[in-house]
Amino acid sequence: MKNFIYLTILLIFTTLAAQCGPAASPSQEGGITVSDISARVTTQNGAVFMTIKNGGASDDALVGGKTDVAKTVELHETKMDENDVMKMSPVPNIPIPAGGSVTLKSGGLHVMLIDMQKELAVGDKISLTLTFEKAGPMTIEAEVKDAAMGHMDQ
């Protein structure tokens, strides 16, 4: 009888322990993965570049972000205007199609860090929480690779 009680208790604890594994991060739940992360900064502003992949079955979108190193985080796009002048402007979101990927890069879509609150140097790390419409928040780390181009200070 004692063996039966011990075996039952052991079985209960083993089952409970198996259920207590690490929780899946929002990026895994939504099928979102981020790679090739880097940053460029100046004394006033910065930009973060990356590749975002959506392995999920439904479309998602990057809708914002936050960090301690800048007062404001915005999603931006740089593109040629009707006068053949490169213009950078905010966008409300960056769509990430189901089964697809989007590359955020210099001269295109990127995450803009506005009004830097901390002076950063090459090699420093920036913690940035990205917010996705469906997958929710996801914290990434970007290494500062080099100084940003001068137009980011304007």
In whole angstroms, how far apart are CA 65 and each of 7, 11, 86, 110? Answer: 50, 44, 24, 12
Question: What contacts 7, CB < 8 A, 6 or more positions away?
Answer: none
Parse the chain into domains and list their residue ranges.
22-153
CATH homologous superfamily for 22-153?
Answer: PCu(A)C copper chaperone (2.60.40.1890)
Going residue by residue through the chain (154 aa), what tens digit of pLDDT does each one get? 554 444 334 334 333 333 333 333 333 446 999 999 999 999 899 999 999 999 999 999 999 999 999 999 999 999 998 999 999 999 999 999 999 999 999 999 999 999 999 999 999 999 999 999 999 999 999 999 976 554 444 3
pLDDT at 150: 43
pLDDT of residue 146: 75
